[in-house]
Amino acid sequence: MTIQEAVGPAVDTLRGSAGTYQLFAAGSNAGLAEHEQAFGPLSLAAIDAGFMSVLGESGLTGRGGAAFSSWRKVAATAQGRGAALLPAKPVVIANGAEGEPLSFKDKTLLAHAPHLVIDGLLIAGRAVSASLLYIYTTPAAMPVVEAAVAERRDARKIKVVQAPETFISGEASAVVNSIATGVALPLDNRRRLSAAGLKGRPTLVLNVETLAHVALIARHGSGWFRAAGSERDPGTRLVSISGQGAGQVLEVEGDARLCDVLSSAGVDLSTVGAVLVGGYHGRWVRDLECRLSPSGPGENVINPGAGVLHILPARDCGLEATARILDYLARASAKQCGPCMFGLPAMARVLSAIAYGDRNPRLVLELERLTKLVGGRGACHHPDGTARLVSSALEMFAEDMKAHLLGTCTRETRSAI
């Protein structure tokens, strides 16, 4: 299956590996008719209390990056109504912000299978007795999503809200803040969104791909979902592959080997220097035999995050590539929290100095010190994700670091990022 017209700047070729293309089974740019023909109509009345246990058995985890148990999130929201006399009805938000520059699987999903996401949102809404439903998405995907919502009578209460195209706009509390006030910045995390989110109501924010999986689990059951993937990482996930040739979106089985995924995308493994797994908040990986599973990092396992796989060609310098990303991340700070506002630019200055020729060996220790200093100190996980990226670069590119300090790095300092 090849899909070439996608909404937005990313034009993606899409193929399923190992015959597992379920999410795109309705074909490219699927309307409601194609959707119902491929998946069958949605029977919302069948979603009762038993669905929670089906979702629990499926083992579905969030596909937006954090890989938290979807069932636990839904259950926490259902219970978040508390014991008030007149409990507030919950809110469910389909998160399609996808601010990560190297990710385009959510835009692709919304372009080709918007009805599967809408199904998932309606199902999740019913499961928690929500009264407000939102789809939060980028300007590029807005027309398709709005048209899809307008096409169906059961989706009338869904509001489509535009997400700003910033790195941070998809963070769950920023999503809530954006819908409530138009400002897509994270909120202080003392209160849980499942207890008091949008308009003070229990709020469930789920990634659009997660909701598409919910729609299939509701139709086919947990056993069907678990038939793909592994015990520790059931089901399939979408990955965005970039860095070599045209960007591609693939649906791959859980726990897939990185080299198998890259091979099925047509990547020549001999030209791969390293792979950035999980995007700008992810990790650099050199061992292509490792498996992609949220149970990582561990022995031969790496957490795929939101499914970003970005290839660094063997001839390119990983330190410089990381310096460029770090510079972007420092600028992407919401500048609300001091350690992030000042710490990330400080880290970026040090890594850039190393990457572009400063041979002072103390810079490495300074970068390590700053990386430790920002961790765990902010309203959101932007500093933690940034620290994760830098730590993995220091580990994976230790040889390159030595070469830089000796002034002998011969790799090209030109990067696609």
Partner 1 sequence: MTEILHIDWTRCDGRGLCTELLPTVLVRDDWGYPLALQATNGNRSNPAISPGNIEAAREAVHLCPKLALSLVPEQAKPRQ
> Looking at beta carbons only, is 187 or 212 nearer to partner 1?
187
Q: What is the DSSP string of 61-97?
A: B-SSSS--BHHHHHHHHHHTTTT-SSPPPPEEEEEE-
Is the peptide bond prior to 297 cis by the omega test (within 30 degrees of 0)? yes
> Looking at beta carbons only, is 66 or 259 nearer to partner 1?
66
Of 90-98, 150-158, 184-192, 401-409, the segment contacting partner 1 by CB under 8 A is 184-192
CA atoms of 26 and 34, how far apart (whole Å): 6
Size of the site for partner 1 (CB under 8 A): 23
Are residues 236 and 23 in contact, defined by beta-carbon separation less than 8 angstroms? yes
Identified binder of partner 1 from the candidate list 56, 377, 391, 405, rule CB under 8 A: 377
Of 93-101, 181-189, 248-256, 298-306, the segment contacting partner 1 by CB under 8 A is 181-189
> Looking at beta carbons only, is 21 or 342 nearer to partner 1?
342
Q: What is the CA radius of gyration of the chain?
A: 21
DSSP single-letter state for residue 417: -
Q: What is the DSSP string of 148-198?
A: HHHH-GGGTTEEEEEPPSSTTTTSHHHHHHHHHHS---PPPSSS-TTTS-G
> Looking at beta carbons only, is 32 or 346 nearer to partner 1?
346
Identified binder of partner 1 from the candidate list 349, 353, 375, 413, rule CB under 8 A: 375
> Looking at beta carbons only, is 179 or 256 nearer to partner 1?
179
HSE-CB of 174 using CA atoms within 13 angstroms: 26
Positions 335 through 374 that interact with partner 1 (CB under 8 A): 336-340, 342-343, 346, 373
Coil, strand or helix at 242: strand
Place of tokens 């119902």: 36
Residue 379 in the binding site for partner 1 (CB under 8 A) = yes
Identified binder of partner 1 from the candidate list 378, 400, 404, 417, rule CB under 8 A: 378
> Looking at beta carbons only, is 82 or 139 nearer to partner 1?
82
CA atoms of 195 and 337, how far apart (whole Å): 24
Residue 301 in the binding site for partner 1 (CB under 8 A) = no
Residue 15 in the binding site for partner 1 (CB under 8 A) = no
* Beta carbon of residue 74, minimum distance to partner 1 (angstroms, whole number): 15
CA atoms of 227 and 234, how far apart (whole Å): 7
* Beta carbon of residue 96, minimum distance to partner 1 (angstroms, whole number): 21
> Looking at beta carbons only, is 20 or 333 nearer to partner 1?
333
DSSP single-letter state for residue 234: B
Residue 376 in the binding site for partner 1 (CB under 8 A) = yes
Q: What are phi and psi of 24, to 5 degrees?
A: -105, 25
- 62, exposed or middle or buried, with CB in 10 Å at 0-12, 13-18, 19+? buried
Evaluated on CA atoms 108, 416, 287, 380, the torsion sign reads negative
Positions 187 through 246 that interact with partner 1 (CB under 8 A): 187-193
CA atoms of 270 and 289, how far apart (whole Å): 13
> Looking at beta carbons only, is 192 or 257 nearer to partner 1?
192
> Looking at beta carbons only, is 76 or 127 nearer to partner 1?
76
Q: Which two tokens stand for residue 315?
A: 């001839």
Residue 331 in the binding site for partner 1 (CB under 8 A) = no
* Beta carbon of residue 381, minimum distance to partner 1 (angstroms, whole number): 8
Are residues 185 and 97 in contact, defined by beta-carbon separation less than 8 angstroms? no
How far from the centroid of its chain's Cα atoms is residue 218's Cα?
22
Are residues 233 and 65 in contact, defined by beta-carbon separation less than 8 angstroms? no
* Beta carbon of residue 67, minimum distance to partner 1 (angstroms, whole number): 13
> Looking at beta carbons only, is 31 or 375 nearer to partner 1?
375
Binding site for partner 1 (CB under 8 A): 185-193, 336-340, 342-343, 346, 373, 375-379
